[in-house]
Amino acid sequence: MRNTLLLMAAIALTVLCWGLYGPTLQAGQFGMSTVAGVPARLRPFVCVGLAYFLIGVIVPLLWLYLRGEKGEWTLMGISWSLAGGALGALGAFGIILAFTFGGAPIYVMPLVFGGAPVVNAFLTIYIAGRMKEIGPMFLAGLIIVILGAVVVLVSAPHGKPHPPTAEKPTEATATKADEASVADGKEKVDANPTLVQSASSAVWSWILRVLAIALAIGSWGAYGPVLHKGQAAMHHSRMRPLLCVGVAYFVIAVILPHFFLAEMGEASSYLKFGTLWSLLGGTLGALGALGIILAFNSGGKPVFVMPLVFGGAPVINTLATIASKNQWDHVPPFFWAGLILVIAGAAMVLVLAPRGGS
């Protein structure tokens, strides 16, 4: 009973932290940018890495030194845990790139949170060799969680456009409108090469956006099973795998971006507002990673822990967005239907997940 409560608390911690991760990090991206409307990429990523270093390296080192814990360092455990941390960092960078290349949360997050648990489930089944233990009801629950998350995010309210202010035309404005129409027609004729170039740029941005989303789906989908193997190889230690995750984040999210910033630069700066939000986003990400490790340590398996996380996190994300914009009166019925699907599917996944061996 105690392990079940700890398992549920750990999953809830990750769902809450990762649900707030996206909006917080996006606020940091725009807060650090020096160009209006263009989100920063590398400096917010550096702040995420620094937060992971504090929570994922300093805290575990102090814990192990002062209190110790069960488990031990093994080469296999270190390798798998570092790989898990690298996947987590690459997934976070994929989200940042998707937004940078013009992606909107309305479809980026449904694709990521819908695709990652599918990758996770099948990778877990393949690694464990338990294809025969997967029943049709479990797969149905997994599909319901994914569909529910997509419905929640797609049907979430996103504010209403302000209607244009009616203005009575005057003779002067009519004359200006005619002149503007003639000038606009001339500009369209002269700008054909530019339009072709813009179309080519849009296609290239779309390709990069798709690749960034695929990077996030693949990385975060494989994150749980890989980290679980690292923890198991360290005899179910909690702090040791987290320490390896923090080290991997520090290398990928702090050291590497530092060289790119030195060589290429970026239209951003470590402004107070953006830095604080980016650090907070990294903190939420690190606490979510700790929640995953605690869930595994309490008997959870990636095949049902990760679908619950990826099903619940986008719901928290959307609810937080609605609350921040005070849009409760504009929530469509499909949103609540999707929320019910997520809850029902999550319950099916949890109850019908194959238990396997210890």
Q: What confidence tens digit (pLDDT) does each residue in 21-40 have?
A: 888 888 898 899 998 878 88
Q: Is the separation of the CB atoms in 246 and 85 below 8 Å?
A: yes
The average pLDDT across 216-221 equals: 90
| Spatial separation of the C-alpha atoms in residues 53 and 298, rounded to whole Å | 24
Work out the pLDDT band at 324, boundaries 50, 70, 90.
confident
- What kind and span of H or E run contains 139? helix 136-154
The mean-pLDDT minimum among 85-94, 106-115, 136-145, 203-212 falls in 106-115
pTM: 0.73
| Spatial separation of the C-alpha atoms in residues 20 and 287, rounded to whole Å | 11
Largest CA distance in the chain: 84
| Spatial separation of the C-alpha atoms in residues 333 and 45, rounded to whole Å | 36
Highest mean pLDDT among 30-39, 160-169, 244-253, 287-296: 244-253
The average pLDDT across 245-274 equals: 89
348: nearest Cα among 142, 177, 189: 142
CA distances from 15 to 22, 150, 306 (A): 12, 16, 10
| Spatial separation of the C-alpha atoms in residues 145 and 162, rounded to whole Å | 34
Q: Is the separation of the CB atoms in 223 and 30 below 8 Å?
A: no
The average pLDDT across 228-232 equals: 89
Residue that is written with structure tokens 């990760």 in the block: 306
Work out the pLDDT band at 3, boundaries 50, 70, 90.
confident
| Spatial separation of the C-alpha atoms in residues 23 and 19, rounded to whole Å | 8
Q: Is the separation of the CB atoms in 96 and 41 below 8 Å?
A: yes
| Spatial separation of the C-alpha atoms in residues 273 and 312, rounded to whole Å | 28
Tens of pLDDT, residue by residue over 68-99, are: 888 899 999 999 999 999 999 999 899 888 88
